[in-house]
Chains A and B, each alone.
Chain A
Amino acid sequence: MSSTAVKKQRFDYIDQFRGFVGILMLLGHSSYYFNSIWINLDPFDPIFPDWGQFALRYVGYLCAPGFLMMNGAMVWWSYHRRVQKGTADWTARWHLIQRGIFLVLVQMIWVNSSWGGFRVFNPFHFGVISSIGFSMILLTLIINLRWYWQLAIALAILVIHPFLLQIPYDPDVMWSQVLMQTFVDSGGFNKYPVLPWFALAILGSVMAHGWLLFWKSDKQRILMGLLIAGTAFSVATVLRLGRGFGTLTNFSDFGSFSFFLDQKYPPSLYMNLWFFGAVVLMVTLFIAINMLSPKILKVFSIPGKVPLFFYAVHLAILGVFVKRLGLFYREGGVLESLIGMAVMLVIMLPLCKWFFGLKRRNKNYFIQMI
């Protein structure tokens, strides 16, 4: 395989997977706005009436790990590409830090308000986008470390995090709520605390070493991907079956709903390992599919090339039209959520294409940041 071809495919499968995760996120948001289960569903302690509703919610669990890991991979790639092109070390890092800060601001200024269709301006709240932003900023600090040091840091965070969760704090005291929920725990202020998600971003950076540098052929990427995903699934399964350290909720039987559904907010060690494995497996699958039929996954590249635009705009459209104007708000079920997703894709795909073109032509600072 020529180096040009390798380079091209690197971006293809990562863009495609990122687009796939974005579309899964759209499905999750479509469910949030159209699906009546959300009238009562508590994301911190979910219960499901049937398999369809469980599956609809569970596929969305891949999104945050997918985004964080792909972000970690791209931070690593972007830094090294810039440095290779001659950019000074801290200039390359500063570019990424700026983007991290930009993501935190997008969360506070745009995303928080878009959920409700911009009815209320609510900047003092964090979420998945700010968590990605913080992770990006932190990742730039260790981006030069060798992959095994990065891996060690990620694993150390994942192992220490369950102990940090035992730190008592009063969520009614603002400073302790902000401190704990920004970094460790989940709650009303932030569902995506930085530490566990930063660990996944580091793992994304570690995987980027293999995907984009060490493994020279798709066959090797597939074999290594399967091996790593298999190992992650195995360790996660052993942890879950042990019902002790690394898991936070009980389950009935191996392979049941509850077996796969440990705590997501914040994620248990089992969930982080499981979804790390799932992301690696899915990326591997995308590489394999691209080998067989490169056209099948092309559609995912469209949102995958402008993931932040896709996220911010689809959420705003749903927030304004469904929540604020009350268009079928939480009146449907699984089918209506799928229809909602399809309709939103019809709207979003041309918009993404247009914005990608604009981004290539226009070198405006903010457009480049999105």
Chain B
Amino acid sequence: MKKIKAKTKFLVLIPALLLLLAGCSSRIDGPVVGDDATITYPAKQSEDISATISFCRRIDKKTGEGIGEGLVFSMIESAVLYAVTDFENQYKHLANGLMFHYDWIGPNGKSLFCKQIEVPPGDSTSSITSSISISPEKREAGEYNFKLYYFRELIAEKSFTLLPELLVTPEVAKELAPEITLYRKVSKKTGKLIGEGSIFKMKSKRKVRAAIEIKNRFAFGEQELMFHIEWIGPGGESIYRKRYDFYPVDSTSIIESSISISPDKRLAGDYKFQLLLFNKLIAEQTFELHE
């Protein structure tokens, strides 16, 4: 009888030990998908650390905010993708320092880059940023994943898609149907373009403006589009060049740019305004400046 009692105690002890071990996890078992598509593993204790993840193309140097946030990105030569993880409740755990790992996982399930981050005691860092190259020679198209671990335990993850690099051909340019309009200014009263054409007279404080309408903005679906505009002077030199990224999440279809045509800044002659897609010329408009 004694033996049976002891056996029963032992049988009760095993699940109790397992439960005790299970208690090591600081997270609730089931994941929760947030509005921003971050999959989080909520903490058992509400005051424990949690995190959200966002992906972006660039980070504004002044504000520190992400530019071109989204979940679908195109592979672009020399481009990088940022993962920004923002923490909540991290300040409650600063006394002894924090440990994070982030892991970029490729479409084949293999880790591309994994790094441990130690936050020293007292450091009030509230976010971690990591980046990977999304150059076509380094990556392949497919579904990628970014995972964040807090003290070796997964607390958040998020997926994103890399689309193949768009091969720019004359047909691609046709599909997008870009239309360049050069003009002097916009009427404040009517909103109409004034001085539309290809010949402009130089004058102090005067400008030539360009409006490019990408008529078929979503010709390639969720494909991200990287445009450059370039103003070229009579000697073939570049006067001004700027990059414009069109992300799937915004529906912008117009690019606007202008240059001064003040006689003290420009020479008379033949100029060009060019539109480039992924650094390849897809549309051009010539114009003339005279005194």
State which of B103, B110, B151 has its C-beta within 8 Å of the C-beta of A256. Answer: B151
B22 to A, closest residue via Cβ: A51
A293-307 vs B, Cβ < 8 Å mask (1 yes, 0 no): 100000000000000
| Consensus secondary structure, chain B interface | mixed
Q: A255-B23, A292-B10, A293-B3 known; A48 and B116 CB under 8 Å? A: no
A330 to B, closest residue via Cβ: B109
B206 within 8 A of A: no
B149 within 8 A of A: yes
A235 within 8 A of B: no
Which one, A38-46, A153-161, A309-317, is touching chain B? A38-46
Q: A256-B26, A257-B25 known; A50 and B154 CB under 8 Å? A: yes
A188 within 8 A of B: no
Which residues on B sit within 8 Å (CB–CB) of A258?
99, 151-153
A180-224 vs B, Cβ < 8 Å mask (1 yes, 0 no): 000000000000000000000000000000000000000000000
A78 within 8 A of B: no
* Contact B7 A47, beta carbon cutoff 8 Å: no
* Contact A292 B7, beta carbon cutoff 8 Å: yes
Which residues on A sit within 8 Å (CB–CB) of B24?
51, 54, 255-257, 259-260
Which residues on B sit within 8 Å (CB–CB) of A259?
24
Which one, A22-30, A68-76, A244-252, is touching chain B? A244-252
Q: How far is the CA of A288 from the CA of B144 in the complex (A)?
A: 51
* Contact B116 A250, beta carbon cutoff 8 Å: no
Chain B residues 15 to 45 lying within 8 A of chain A, measured CB to CB, are 21-26, 29
B6 within 8 A of A: yes
Chain A residues 269 to 311 lying within 8 A of chain B, measured CB to CB, are 289, 292-293
B134-151 vs A, Cβ < 8 Å mask (1 yes, 0 no): 000000000000010111
20 other contacts beyond A252-B150, A255-B24, with CB at 8 A cut-off? A39-B110, A45-B101, A45-B116, A46-B152, A47-B149, A50-B29, A51-B24, A55-B22, A243-B96, A250-B151, A252-B99, A252-B151, A256-B25, A257-B24, A257-B25, A257-B26, A257-B153, A292-B3, A292-B6, A292-B7
Subset of 5 A-B contacts with CB under 8 Å = A47-B153, A48-B149, A252-B99, A292-B7, A293-B7
Interface residues of A (CB under 8 A from B): 36, 39-40, 42, 45-51, 54-55, 243, 249-253, 255-261, 289, 292-293
